[in-house]
C-alpha cells in the first residue's frame, strides 16, 4: 500500500504520541510544580510508544506520507529497539544525580524528540526525509550534549559534535544532490531502478554511461553522513569527546540509539536503494560501483583503531566510547557481506549491543552517583565494598562486550563471523577475531579493578540504588539468557528483514 498524508495518520500513532509528548512536556513544565512528574510521564510515553510499535508488528506494510517513510518489518524492528533506547535513557536520567537540578521538562522533551527523529531515520525511504530525520536527531543531540549548564566539558563537547556533525551531514547532503542529479528523484525506489539500469547504459536518459565514478563519489559522501552517526573511522573523531562530555544518560542514548538509527538509515540507503536483490538472500552492488571493498577496509580499520585506542583510557566513558567505535566496526562486518544473513546478524548484534552497552552505562551511572567518579578508580574493589551485585552485572556486560560465551555478546559475534565466513572473507574474519582478543584486555581491566584490586582502606562503602539496580538486573539477566537461548531474538531479526519498496 502507498498511502497519502491523511490516510497515513492511523499508521503513525507511535510517532504522533511522541510528538504530543514533546509538546506536552514543554508546556507542562510551565504549570507543573512537582518536576519529578515530568520524567515519569516521559517514561510512560516511551513505554507506551514501544508498545504501540510492537502492536504494529505483523500488521500491514506499506509506504506512508506519499512514499516518504516505510512501515515494514525493518522499520518496526528498529523502532522497537529505538523506543527501548529512549526508555532506557529516560530511566537512567531519572536515576541520575547529574540531571536532578536541570530543567526536567525541556530535557525530557528533547529526549523524546531525539527518539522521534531516530524513528524517522529508521523508516525514511526518501533522501529528503532521511536528511531531515538525521539533522533532527543531530541538532537535538547537540543541545542534549551541552545540556548541563555550567559544564565546560559539556559545552566543548557540544561544539565539537556540532562541527563534525555539520560537516558530515553537509557532505552527505552534497552526495545526495549528486544522486538526485543522476537518478532524477529523491525516492529510494526510483533510485534503485536507475541503479539497476546502470550497467545497460541508463534509464530514461537520467544516467549517462560512465557515471560510475560520480556515483562512487556520491556514495562515499553519503557514507560520511551515516558514518559519523555510527562512529565509523574516519568519521569517529567526535565520539570520544562527546561521550565524555555529555551527561551519562545522553551518552548511553547516543551509543545505543543513534548508532542503531544510523545503521538503519545506512542499510536502507545502501541496500534497497542502491543495490539489487537477487531474490536468493544476496545483494549485488550496482555495476562498477564497488563500495563493498571500501567498507571492508573501513570495518577493519574501525574496529582496530577503536580497540587500540581504548587500551590506554582511564575514563570509563571514554573507554566505552572507543569500545563503541570498535563495535561499529564489528557491526560493519555484517554490513559488507551483501547478504541477508549479514544484515540479520547485524540486527541481532544491535539488540545484544543495546542490552550489554546500556547495562554497562547504567552500572557506570551507579558508580558515578555514589562516588562522583567516572574513571577506573571509581570501580576499584567494587565487589569487596558492598557492590557485589553491580560488580557481577558489570562483569557480565564486560565479558559480553568482549564476546565471551555464554553471554549474548558472543552469540552476536558468532552470527557476524558466520556471515563473513560463509562469504569466505578470511582476512576480515581473522582481523575481527584478533580484535576480540585485544578488546578483552581493556574490558578485563575493569573486571580486574572491581575484583582483583582491593579497595583502599578509607574507601566509602557502596550502596546500590534500587532504581538503577532494577535496570541493571534486567539487562544482566537478558545478557545471560540470550547467551544460552537466543532463538526468539534471532527469529525476530529474521522476520524483520523485509523492506517495503512499493
Partner 1 sequence: MPEALGLQHFLLVGAALFCMGLYCVLTRRNAIGILMGVELVLNAANVNYIAFSRYGVGGVDGQVFSIFVIMLAAAEAAIGLAIVLGIYRRSGSIDVSQMTSLRG
Partner 2 sequence: MDHILTYMTFIPLAGMAVILCMPRGATKAIRLTALGFTIPPLLMAVWLFANFDRTTEAMQFMERAQWIPSFNIQYIMGVDGLSVTMILLTALLCPICILASWNIEKGVKGYFALFLLLDAGMTGVFCALDFFLFYIFWEVMLLPMYFLIGIWGGERREYAAIKFFLYTLAGSVLMMIAMLALYFYNEPHTFDMLVLMDNAGTYSRTFQTWTWLALFIGFAIKIPAFPFHTWLPDAHVEAPTAISVILAGVLLKMGTYGILRFCYPMLPLATQDMAFWALAALGTWNIVYGALCAMAQTDMKKLVAYSSISHMGYVMLGMATMTVQGINGAVLQMFNHGTITAMLFLLVGVVYDRAHHRRIDGFGGLASVMPVYTGIMVIAFFAAMGLPGLSAFISEVLVLLGAWQYSPALAIVAASAVVLTAGYMLWMLQRVWLGPVNEEYASMPDVNAREIVMLAPLAVIVIVLGVYPHAVLDLINTSLTAINNTVLSAVPPLASLPLDVLP
**First and final CA of the chain: distance in angstroms?**
7
What, of partner 2, partner 1, none, does residue 472 touch, CB below 5 to 8 Å by kind? none
Output 120 or 410, the one with its CB closest to partner 2.
410
Backbone angles phi, psi at 339, to 5 degrees: -150, 160
Which residue of 99, 116, 186, 338 would you call a contact of partner 1, by CB under 8 A? 186
Is 106 a binder of partner 2 (CB under 8 A)? no
- C-alpha cell of residue 299: 570495518
Looking only at residues 120 through 159 of this chain, which bind partner 1 when binding is defined by CB under 8 A?
127-128, 131-132, 135, 139, 142-143, 146, 149-150, 152-153, 155-159
Are 152 and 108 in contact by the 8 Å Cβ rule? The answer is: no
CA distance 204 to 197: 10
* Residue 210 in contact with partner 1, rule: CB under 8 A: no
280: its cell numbers: 536468493
CB 305 within 8 A of CB 224: no
Is 483:405 a contact under the CB 8 Å cutoff?
A: yes
Establish if 406 lies at the interface with partner 2 (CB under 8 A): yes
Give the x/- contact pattern for partner 2 in 366-405, rule: CB under 8 A: ---------------------------------x----xx
167 binding partner 1? (CB under 8 A): yes
Show the site string, 222-251: x = touches partner 1 by CB under 8 A, - = not: ------------------xx--xx------
Q: For residue 137, what is the DSSP state?
A: H
173 lines the binding site for partner 1 (CB under 8 A) = yes
* 434, 456, 463, 474: residue in contact with partner 2 (rule CB under 8 A): 434
Among 54, 66, 102, 180, binds partner 1 (CB under 8 A): 180
3-state secondary structure 6-69: HHHHHHHHHHHHHHHHHHHHHHHHHHCCCCHHHHHHHHHHHHHHHHHHHHHCCCCCEEECCCCE
Smallest separation, CB 325 to partner 1 (Å): 13
Q: Could you tell me if 144 and 245 are in contact, meaning their C-beta atoms sit under 8 angstroms apart?
A: no
Quote the CA–CA distance of 77 and 62 in Å, as a whole number: 15
Instruction: Select from partner 1, partner 2, none the partner in contact with residue 433, using the beta carbon and a kind-dependent cut-off of 5 to 8 Å.
Output: partner 2
- In whole angstroms, the minimum distance from the beta carbon of 282 to partner 2 comes to 15
Instruction: Respond yes or no on whether the N-terminal peptide bond of residue 406 is cis (omega within 30° of 0).
Output: yes
From residue 476, how far is each of 376, 391, 400, 494 by CA, in Å? Answer: 21, 11, 10, 24
Residues in contact with partner 2 by CB under 8 A are: 399, 404-406, 410, 414, 417-418, 421-422, 424, 426, 429-430, 433-434, 436-437, 440-441, 444, 448, 451-452, 486-487, 490-491, 494
Binding residues for partner 1, rule: CB under 8 A, are 127-128, 131-132, 135, 139, 142-143, 146, 149-150, 152-153, 155-160, 162-163, 166-167, 170-171, 173-174, 176-178, 180-181, 184-186, 204-206, 240-241, 244-245, 313-315, 318
Amino acid at each position: 500500500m502507498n498511502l497519502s498524508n491523511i490516510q497515513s495518520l492511523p499508521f503513525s500513532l507511535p510517532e504522533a504520541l511522541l510528538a504530543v509528548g514533546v509538546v506536552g512536556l514543554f508546556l507542562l513544565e510551565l504549570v507543573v510544580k512537582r518536576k519529578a512528574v515530568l520524567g515519569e510521564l516521559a517514561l510512560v510515553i516511551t513505554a507506551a510508544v514501544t508498545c504501540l510499535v510492537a502492536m504494529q508488528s505483523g500488521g500491514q506494510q506499506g509506504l506512508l506520507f506519499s512514499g516518504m517513510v516505510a512501515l515494514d518489518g525493518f522499520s518496526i524492528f528498529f523502532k522497537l529497539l529505538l523506543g527501548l533506547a529512549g526508555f532506557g535513557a529516560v530511566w537512567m536520567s531519572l536515576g541520575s544525580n547529574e540531571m536532578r537540578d536541570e530543567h526536567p521538562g525541556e530535557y525530557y522533551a528533547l529526549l523524546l524528540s531525539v527518539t522521534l527523529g531516530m524513528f524517522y531515520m529508521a523508516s525514511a525511504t526518501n533522501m529528503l526525509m532521511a536528511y531531515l530525520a538525521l539533522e533532527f536527531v543531530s541538532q537535538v543531540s547537540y543541545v542534549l550534549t551541552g545540556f548541563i549548564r555550567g559544564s565546560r566539558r559539556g559545552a566543548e563537547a557540544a561544539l565539537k559534535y556540532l562541527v563534525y556533525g555539520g560537516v558530515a551531514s553537509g557532505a552527505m547532503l552534497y552526495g545526495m544532490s549528486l544522486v538526485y542529479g543522476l537518478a532524477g528523484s529523491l525516492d529510494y525506489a526510483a533510485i534503485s531502478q536507475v541503479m539497476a539500469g546502470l550497467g545497460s547504459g541508463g534509464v530514461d536518459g537520467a544516467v549517462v554511461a560512465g557515471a560510475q565514478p560520480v556515483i562512487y563519489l556520491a556514495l562515499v559522501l553519503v557514507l560520511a553522513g551515516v558514518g559519523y552517526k555510527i562512529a565509523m573511522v574516519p568519521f569517529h573523531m567526535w565520539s570520544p569527546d562527546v561521550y565524555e562530555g555529555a551527561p551519562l544518560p545522553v551518552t548511553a542514548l547516543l551509543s545505543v540509539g543513534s548508532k542503531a538509527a544510523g545503521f538503519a538509515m545506512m542499510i536502507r540507503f545502501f541496500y534497497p536503494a542502491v543495490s539489487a536483490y537477487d531474490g536468493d538472500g544476496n545483494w549485488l552492488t550496482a555495476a562498477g560501483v564497488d563500495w563493498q571493498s571500501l567498507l571492508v577496509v573501513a570495518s577493519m580499520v574501525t574496529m582496530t583503531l577503536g580497540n587500540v585506542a581504548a587500551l590506554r583510557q582511564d575514563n570509563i566513558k571514554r573507554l566505552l566510547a572507543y569500545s563503541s567505535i570498535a563495535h561499529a566496526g564489528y557491526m560493519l562486518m555484517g554490513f559488507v557481506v551483501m547478504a541477508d544473513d549479514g544484515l540479520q546478524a547485524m540486527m541481532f548484534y544491535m539488540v545484544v549491543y543495546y542490552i550489554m552497552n546500556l547495562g554497562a552505562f547504567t552500572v557506570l551511572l551507579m558508580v558515578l552517583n555514589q562516588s562522583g567518579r567516572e574513571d577506573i578508580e571509581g570501580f576499584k574493589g567494587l565487589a569487596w565494598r558492598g557492590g557485589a551485585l553491580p560488580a557481577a552485572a558489570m562483569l557480565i556486560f564486560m565479558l559480553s562486550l568482549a564476546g565471551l560465551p555464554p553471554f549474548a555478546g558472543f552469540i552476536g559475534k558468532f552470527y557476524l563471523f558466520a556471515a563473513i565466513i560463509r562469504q569466505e572473507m578470511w582476512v576480515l574474519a581473522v582481523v575481527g577475531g584478533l580484535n576480540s582478543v585485544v578488546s578483552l584486555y581493556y574490558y578485563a581491566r575493569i573486571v580486574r579493578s572491581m575484583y582483583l584490586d582491593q579497595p583502599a582502606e578509607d574507601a566509602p562503602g557502596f550502596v546500590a540504588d534500587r532504581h538503577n539496580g532494577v535496570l541493571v538486573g534486567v539487562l544482566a539477566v537478558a545478557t545471560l539468557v540470550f547467551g544460552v537461548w537466543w532463538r526468539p531474538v534471532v527469529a525476530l531479526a529474521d522476520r524483520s528483514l523485509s523492506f517495503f519498496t512499493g
